[in-house]
Amino acid sequence: MLREANLMQQLDNPYIVRMIGICEVENLMLVMELADLGPLNKYLSVKNITELVHQVSMGMKYLEGNNFVHRDLAARNVLLVTQHYAKISDFGLSKALTEEENYYKSKGHGKWPVKWYAPECMNYLKFSSKSDVWSFGVLMWEAYSLGQKPYKGMKGNEVMQMIDSGKRMDPPVNCPPEMYELMKKCWTFK
């Protein structure tokens, strides 16, 4: 938790949840900016999806520009301040990258959100802003499906086989074609 707090105190962007401080009562807690409406996947309507997804992209652009890899970008980790204002949260898996290296290499598998991870994360334990782009594509799919779970009914190894075979999720119902094309670009294998 202290590592997450140390990382979060470095971030200053209107599309990233702000850490206010650390509190120790019974145990250590992070005090975060309030986002009244909760996670993105619980509160979506057709009229505000593109606006909210764009805000997430701006927050992710900021993270990339400051050499941070989120590693857990998903609709559940984007909080809504209002119906028209989204902020990225949950930096527990995030890593600050060095100037010399543009990726983070994990020492082993953990309890990872496989359905949001790019192939290089699972195959080579490598995380970069490029793997965050893959996760952003999955977040877009979640948003345009109005909060459905990606790869519904599939296990992690089935998802990996599907991706390795070149297949991708079908477009959500009523998803604008240009947004689905953008998702597919996010899911480019190389």
Task: Output the CA torsion sign for 119, 122, 128, 132.
Answer: positive
Per the rule left: phi > 0, alpha: psi between -120 and 50, beta: everything else, 83 is alpha
Concerning whether 36 is annotated as a catalytic residue, the answer is no
Residue from 12, 36, 72, 90 carrying the catalytic annotation: 72
User: Distance between CA atoms of 103 and 145, rounded to whole angstroms?
Assistant: 30
CB 81 within 8 A of CB 87: yes
Q: Is 94 exposed, middle or buried (0-12, 13-18, 19+ CB in 10 A)?
A: buried
User: Which residues are known to be catalytic?
Assistant: 72
